[in-house]
Amino acid sequence: MLWTLNSQLSTDLPSSNGLYAERTWLHSHGMTAPQGPLPRLVQRLDLERRGDDQFVGQSGPGEGALFGGFVAAQAVMAAGGTVDGRILHSVHGYFLRPGRHAVPIHYAVNRVRQGRTFSTRLVTASQESEVIFTASADFTISEEGIAHQESIAPEAPEPYGLPDWEDLRAELLGGPSMRRADGPVEVRVCDRESPQRDVKLPAFRRVWMRPRGILPDDALLHAAVMVYASDRTLLRTAARPHGATWRLRVGASLDHAVWLHHPIRFDDWILFVSESPVAHAGRALLLGAMYQRDGVRVASVAQEGLLRLK
């Protein structure tokens, strides 16, 4: 089993066993559960340090497999917990097994390189001694150097007034009763899927994203939430040429890479543009670009995913 597409926001779905486990853990650490999806995500990204280069994160309540972007974001926080005075510029991860809710995630960090400009960390994420995710994360200093941006952000309608991702999903699945709870990142869709079966669309999509609230003033946290958001909506772009809406496909992220070109401040809308230039043998390649509202490209994303038609 791998990371399922249907678990995108499962970190915020109700589960009585998961809620009890999380509340018990929070109570034992003298904390209470925060209100709202973004504060809950921020709290779960605040990892507990366990000795040298060892961290523990809480997966929280929910149903199905953990959202892969959530584990990647926690891995970024673990790696960053071993680096001082440097900013994240890239992370490359492999999803190996499905993560489970209400089970702590242990992060072991290996300090591979500590150079004058770059610091490299390898992170292994495990649940109950099973490795579920591995990643390499690279950090660098801020410095002057060559700079260019050849591509400009594609034209896109303003996010205000565009349909919400969760509303569209519920509409395609049968109505308001199918709507999931809001997640920590709001998504507004420029390029809708067709409600009609087998309507083939270009393997290209534009969505606007922003946190549902204000993030604390922490550069590493902003970068981690950006990595979290970069796994949203991505693999579904590859399903568009095949007319495969939510109930007609099964998918899973296999690996995920993010390059951050500028210091990240994720406190406004980001335009996330994705395309799938090739797919073969059920594996689709996804490429993405994230732009600020002023057109500056702040991040690039690449992913290979498994995509099967039901």
Percentage of the chain exceeding pLDDT 70 = 89
Alpha helix segments (H runs only) across the chain: 16-28, 37-44, 68-80, 165-173, 219-230, 236-239
State residue 231's pLDDT score. Answer: 96
- Of 92-101, 168-177, 203-212, 253-262, the poorest mean pLDDT is in 168-177
Would you place residue 27 in the very low, low, confident or very high pLDDT band (cuts 50, 70, 90)? Answer: low
State residue 30's pLDDT score. Answer: 57
Task: List the catalytic residue out of 59, 231, 274, 276.
Answer: 231
DSSP 8-state secondary structure symbol assigned to residue 164: B
Q: Does the pLDDT value for residue 14 go beyond 50?
A: no
State residue 142's pLDDT score. Answer: 87
Q: Does the pLDDT value for residue 204 go beyond 70?
A: yes
99 against 251, higher pLDDT: 99
Q: Does the pLDDT value for residue 6 go beyond 90?
A: no
Domain residue limits, the chain = 3-142+153-309
Would you place residue 199 in the very low, low, confident or very high pLDDT band (cuts 50, 70, 90)? Answer: confident
Active site residue 191: no
Q: Does the pLDDT value for residue 288 go beyond 90?
A: yes
Please tell me the distance from the alpha carbon of residue 57 to that of residue 62, in angstroms, as a whole number: 15
pLDDT, tens digit (0-9, with 9 covering 90-100), for 215-266? 999 999 999 999 999 999 999 999 999 887 777 778 889 999 999 999 999 9
Please give the CATH number for the structural domain made up of 3-142+153-309: 2.40.160.210
Q: Does the pLDDT value for residue 205 go beyond 50?
A: yes
State residue 260's pLDDT score. Answer: 98
Task: List the catalytic residue out of 253, 268, 274, 294.
Answer: 253
Active site residue 303: yes
Tell me whether residue 119 is exposed, middle or buried, using C-beta atoms within 10 angstroms of its C-beta: 0 to 12, 13 to 18, 19 or more.
buried
Active site residue 231: yes
Q: Does the pLDDT value for residue 165 go beyond 50?
A: yes
Q: Does the pLDDT value for residue 297 go beyond 90?
A: yes
Would you place residue 29 in the very low, low, confident or very high pLDDT band (cuts 50, 70, 90)? Answer: low
Would you place residue 18 in the very low, low, confident or very high pLDDT band (cuts 50, 70, 90)? Answer: very low
Q: 19-43: string of b/e by CB count within 10 Å (b at 16+)?
A: bebbeebeeeeeeeeeeebbbbbbb
State residue 31's pLDDT score. Answer: 54
Mean residue pLDDT across the chain:
88
pLDDT, tens digit (0-9, with 9 covering 90-100), for 109-123? 999 999 999 999 999
Q: pTM value?
A: 0.88
Q: Does the pLDDT value for residue 291 go beyond 90?
A: yes
**Overall average pLDDT of the 134-141 stretch:** 97
Task: List the catalytic residue out of 7, 8, 10, 303.
Answer: 303
For tokens 């089970």, what's the residue?
103
- Phi/psi of residue 56, each to 5°? -130, 130
pLDDT, tens digit (0-9, with 9 covering 90-100), for 37-90? 999 999 999 999 998 999 999 999 988 899 999 999 999 999 999 999 999 999
